[in-house]
Structure 1
Amino acid sequence: MNATLAVDIRCQLGECPVWSVAEQALWFVDITGKRLHRHDPATGETRTYSVPEEIGCFALARGGGFVAGLRSGVWLLDEEARVDRMLAPNPERAETNRFNDGRTDPAGRFLLGTIDEPKAGGTAGLYRYDRRGLEALDGGLMTSNGLAFSPDGRILYHSDTPRFTIFAQDYDPATGRTENRRVFARLDENAPDRGRPDGGAVDVDGCYWTALFEGGRVQRYAPDGRLLSEYPVPARCPTMIAFGGEDFRTLYITSARAGRSDDELAAHPLAGAVFALRTDVPGLPEPLFDPEA
């Protein structure tokens, strides 16, 4: 199976693909480009919405609109991606730490993490937002990434990209609490390509998929942490993945081009585009964010 071009776009830092079942469309962001994009595979049309800050992650909200992790905090956005109201401020120093990866849990809560941009002290964290407010779940991270849930919602996967590590934690869907964090997989930081785990997703068999930033590929892991397969991507820096399409067997893969060398961009001119890979095993639909969860 080979990944092919799905959206001919050049995002600076493409991230957070989310498939809308209701619209049969793919949403994704350009974090540093401060854009939210909507792509309709049936027509090939891509619509772009500007946001006022870097948008690290978002989720489709029940009743319309979005919840989003912007640099300044967690916000509700309307259907045109205009800021509606802040749900919670960034609990960290916004000048150096912004929200990054995020995902809705089975009950409609929004989990999201931050990035320590200077990579200076591991000051990033992982948080849960629900009607009780924003609560820290984990800390001491450099780049919070790779959020995904097992099909029964009882295992939370999460990575710290610069540390080449994917974690698993027990998760209580009824309360949103986590415990028993352990290493799920650790990549070789001395590998020539230094590919490291970025955004993730889980398929119906409970296998965890991850995009390898600077690794030019995506990987699929068994629930016990064994590496099962790898698939090349026509960009050195794939960033995140999402299952979509009518049968949820199309794996969409965002990528980045910001900060890449001229030689790399010459070798990978599609960097920043969105790619698609047909899979044998389907993924799962994303729950909608519920402000009352």
Structure 2
Amino acid sequence: MSYQVENVLRAQTELGECPLWDTQQQVLWFVDILAPALHRFDPSSGEHQVWPVAEDIGCIGLREEGGLIVALRSGVCFLDEQGKIVRRIAENPGEAARSRFNDGRVDPFGRFWCGSLWEPQDRNGGKLCRVDENLRLTVQAEDVKISNGLAFSPDRRWMYHTDTPNGVMYRYPLDAAGEPGKRQVVRHFIQQQGGLPDGAAVDSEGFYWSAMFDGQRVIRLDPTSGDIVDEIPLPVRWPTMVAFGGSDLKTLYITSSRENRTAEELAQYPQSGDLFAVRVNVAGLPEPRFIHQ
């Protein structure tokens, strides 16, 4: 089908990431990792609020008790809705000087997953972590360069995860308690053939939507076969993540990056760093909220 992509917010983020739709407030939260800030966008009024934070902010999740759970460079914290730290939960299990948190979300079981990246990029030094209801952080997976694309199937049987520089998408079987089994490779990607998998979301039919970094598109793929079944061309080359929003969860929001781009590249793609929206035919899933003891 033909998609109409709209630039809904001239955000000009350095590294826009982790869009998150709040079904209660009907607003979109997202972050700028490298010009560190928490953003709140109300599409009904156009209001855009920005709260700077003191350090790189990787990913966020909604809390059952209100406010947000976030993964900052130094570790995991609770924030209020104005970006103020109200409680520190856990330290970054990697070397915070060379490793920061990146993509993540709350899972259907109410736990917060947060992945990290290894900034020197000379080895697979990233980690995939989980914060449980007891507020204990554990490392669930390693052997990745940049942890990305975390999403969960509607039936809670599968977790999906990507490693962007290595161009691979994985899936993990989940047992009834949500514990992951051995990871399986779903698909390998080649940057020169349409970009690399970045942030993602799963729709209500179980298909996986991935922002293809350096690929100027979002793809929808079958999470079992890895086959691409649809794609949305974009006016930016470096999309970063997608989220389903709107009252019917059929508006796909897309963040983007302008990090490390040359003047010539930004002249060619002047909307880099902005927030986009496109109507799609299938609804997404409401984001779960973090629950703790």
TM over 0.5: yes
Secondary structure at 2:180 match in 1: strand
Alignment partner of 2:42 out of 40, 43, 46:
40
Q: Which residue is 2:251 aligned to? A: 250
Q: Give how far 1:79 is off.
A: 2.3
Question: Any conservation in 1 of the 2:172–2:182 contact (CA below 8 Å)?
Answer: yes
Q: Give how far 1:180 is off.
A: 2.3
CA distance in 2 between counterparts of 1:76 and 1:25 reads 19
Q: Which residue is 1:5 aligned to? A: 7
Q: Which residue is 1:150 aligned to? A: 153
CA distance in 2 between counterparts of 1:37 and 1:258 reads 18
Question: Any conservation in 2 of the 1:2–1:233 contact (CA below 8 Å)?
Answer: no
Q: Which residue is 2:168 aligned to? A: 165
CA distance in 2 between counterparts of 1:251 and 1:281 reads 10
Identical-residue share of aligned pairs (%) = 46
Deviations 1:49-81 (A, max 9, x none): 111111000111112111000000011111221
Q: Give how far 1:260 is off.
A: 0.9
Question: Any conservation in 1 of the 2:60–2:69 contact (CA below 8 Å)?
Answer: yes
Secondary structure at 2:183 match in 1: strand
Deviations 1:179-230 (A, max 9, x none): 1211112112443x5x100001000110001001111100000232211011
In structure 2, the gaps of 5 or more residues are none
Pair 147,273 (structure 1): closer, same or farther in 2 beyond 3 Å: same
Secondary structure at 1:47 match in 2: strand
2:290 maps to 1:286: no
Correspondences of 1:49-88 after superposition (within 5 Å): 49-88=51-90
Q: Give how far 1:8 is off.
A: 1.5
Runs of 4+ in 1 over 3 A off after TM superposition: none
CA distance in 2 between counterparts of 1:162 and 1:268 reads 22
Alignment partner of 1:93 out of 95, 111, 117:
95
Question: Any conservation in 1 of the 2:115–2:126 contact (CA below 8 Å)?
Answer: yes
Question: Any conservation in 2 of the 1:24–1:246 contact (CA below 8 Å)?
Answer: yes
Deviations 1:1-27 (A, max 9, x none): 132101111000000000011111011
Q: TM-score, normalised by structure 1?
A: 0.96
Q: TM-score, normalised by structure 2?
A: 0.96
Alignment partner of 1:113 out of 97, 112, 115:
115
Q: Which residue is 1:264 aligned to? A: 265
Secondary structure at 1:178 match in 2: coil
Q: Give how far 1:173 is off.
A: 5.2
Aligned-CA RMSD value: 1.1
Question: Any conservation in 2 of the 1:107–1:173 contact (CA below 8 Å)?
Answer: no
Comparing 19-28 with 258-267, which one deviates more in the overlay?
258-267
Q: Which residue is 1:229 aligned to? A: 230
